[in-house]
């Protein structure tokens, strides 16, 4: 035999690529005639035998290949396929576990093991593995074509399991939860959603100044801000000044998102420099806009009764936030959990909603919503009309006066360092 093992491997590989299976198999036979423990040749011969339904020969070849290369993925996965055709479930599972022992994140083995769980174990066990597969897979739009159908099945299994578990937990705990005070009940509804997989935990993520150990509270009780009644009593006059600004100073409503060329815009691409979300600023990063304040004297007077948060270079911010019809503000995080954000709704058509973490609320004219904007939040105007709210910064009510002072000093000292 004049051909070397290397030449025979090349011949077999090329023949297989060309679809000449008989020539490929003969070349692999010639390889093991020279080198009986050649793992690639043994695995390939096992695959050839499996394709022609000679499962006994396939098993023999693949076991020899595994002995020669015990950590080879292709051998282990093909061996599992042969055991499946032989209806040997324990041996199939063992081969899959062996592949995962080599790499616990090997997606084909995880998908095959989840499929095994669907056939021989419980839906819960299968869904758990499918969930892990989805967690390490790319976004759905980037799923590889070879695995798309399996990943789609994994997604559907996880959704069904999650929904069934959510329904079971709500049915089991609903009566108990409904007897709790509203704030506690909402917390446990969220706990149920997290446990079932319908939701993820929402954490506080401050882009600038983070005060650690403050609880991440999506919406605060209005009772913690007793001055709101005085402000809300001025809703009509504030709304009148807003309408006047829209009618006579519309150019003062500037795009809220305004990144410079070259800045990474991420989720803000559609709204960058867009009037679909605009703001008429009364205060911005702690600085008053005297011209705009002069155009809204009743609003300025009403704000004097509000304990606005003051953090050096960061807040207060006070502005009319205008969201055009059919506009979505994507999920994002705010600057600091030392402050909380208040929305006084002024113009609110139907089909407008607002989500902070797990909770979703609707704006109602004259009823202030106070929330922690360092928790992921987003807003929707699905109506055909403009939506406008007055947004302003308040201190987080869980901070003492001394801590409020420290928050402002920390921001100031940071700015001093940056300017040094």
The DSSP 8-state label assigned to residue 95 in this structure reads H
In the prediction, which pLDDT does 2 show? 52
Q: Hey, do 5-160 and 222-418 end up sharing a CATH topology, with the first three levels equal?
A: no
Q: Two tokens at 215? A: 């609880």
Local confidence pLDDT in tens for the 420 residues of the chain? 457 899 999 999 999 899 899 999 999 999 999 999 999 999 999 999 999 999 999 999 999 999 999 999 999 999 999 999 999 999 999 999 999 999 999 999 999 999 999 999 999 999 999 999 999 999 999 999 999 999 999 999 999 999 999 999 999 999 999 999 988 999 999 999 999 999 999 999 999 999 999 999 999 999 999 999 999 999 999 999 999 999 999 999 999 999 999 898 889 999 999 999 999 999 999 999 999 999 999 999 999 999 999 999 999 999 999 999 999 999 999 999 999 999 999 999 999 999 999 999 999 999 999 999 999 999 999 999 999 999 999 999 999 999 999 999 999 999 888 886
CATH H superfamily, domain 5-160:
Tetratricopeptide repeat domain (1.25.40.10)
| Closest by Cα among 90, 136, 128, 130 to 112 | 130
| Predicted structure pTM score | 0.81
Asked whether the CA dihedral 231, 235, 241, 246 is positive or negative, the reply is: positive
pLDDT per residue over 313-336, tens digit each?
999 999 999 999 999 999 999 999
3-state secondary structure of 222: helix
User: What CATH number belongs to 222-418?
Assistant: 2.60.120.330
Helix (H) or strand (E) holding 24: helix 21-34
Q: Strand locations in 138-218, DSSP E?
A: none
Find tokens 């979300």 and name the residue. Answer: 277
What is the rounded distance in angstroms from the CA atom of residue 94 to the CA atom of residue 111?
15
How is the chain split into domains, by residue range? 5-160, 222-418
């Amino acid at each position: 035999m004049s051909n070397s093992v290397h030449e025979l491997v090349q011949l077999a590989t090329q023949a297989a690529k060309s679809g000449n299976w008989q020539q490929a198999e003969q070349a692999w036979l010639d390889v093991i005639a020279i080198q009986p423990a050649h793992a690639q040749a043994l695995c390939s011969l096992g695959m050839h035998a499996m394709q022609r339904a000679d499962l006994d020969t396939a098993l023999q070849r693949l076991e020899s290949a595994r002995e020669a290369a015990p950590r080879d993925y292709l051998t282990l996965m093909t061996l599992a396929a042969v055991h499946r055709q032989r209806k040997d479930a324990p041996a199939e599972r063992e081969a899959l576990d062996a592949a995962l022992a080599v790499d616990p994140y090997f997606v084909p083995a995880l998908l095959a093991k989840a499929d095994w769980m669907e056939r021989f174990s419980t839906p819960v066990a299968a869904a758990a593995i499918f969930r892990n597969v989805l967690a390490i897979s790319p976004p759905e739009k980037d799923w590889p074509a070879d695995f798309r159908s399996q990943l789609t099945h994994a997604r559907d299994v996880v959704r069904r399991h999650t929904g069934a578990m959510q329904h079971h937990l709500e049915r089991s705990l609903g009566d108990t939860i409904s007897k709790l005070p509203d704030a506690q009940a909402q917390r446990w509804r969220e706990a149920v959603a997290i446990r079932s997989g319908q939701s993820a935990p929402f954490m506080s993520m401050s882009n600038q100044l983070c005060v650690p150990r403050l609880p991440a509270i999506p919406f605060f009780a209005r009772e913690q801000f007793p001055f709101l009644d005085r402000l809300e009593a001025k809703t009509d006059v504030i709304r009148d000044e807003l309408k006047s600004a829209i009618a006579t100073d519309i150019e003062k409503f500037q795009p809220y998102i305004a990144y410079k060329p070259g800045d990474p815009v991420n989720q803000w691409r559609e709204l960058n420099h867009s009037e679909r979300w605009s703001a008429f600023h009364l205060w911005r990063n702690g600085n008053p806009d005297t011209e705009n304040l002069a155009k809204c004297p009743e609003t300025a007077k009403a704000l004097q009764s509000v304990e606005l948060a003051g953090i050096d270079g960061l807040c207060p911010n006070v502005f009319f936030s205008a969201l055009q019809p059919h506009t979505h503000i994507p999920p994002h995080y705010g600057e600091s959990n030392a402050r909380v954000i208040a929305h006084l709704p002024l113009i609110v058509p139907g089909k407008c909603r607002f989500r902070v973490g797990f909770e979703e609320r609707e704006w109602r004219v004259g009823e202030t919503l106070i929330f922690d904007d360092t928790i992921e939040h987003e807003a929707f105007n699905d109506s055909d009309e403009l939506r406008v709210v007055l947004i302003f910064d308040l201190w987080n009510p869980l901070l003492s006066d001394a801590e409020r002072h420290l928050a402002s000093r920390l921001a100031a000292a940071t700015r001093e360092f940056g300017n040094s």
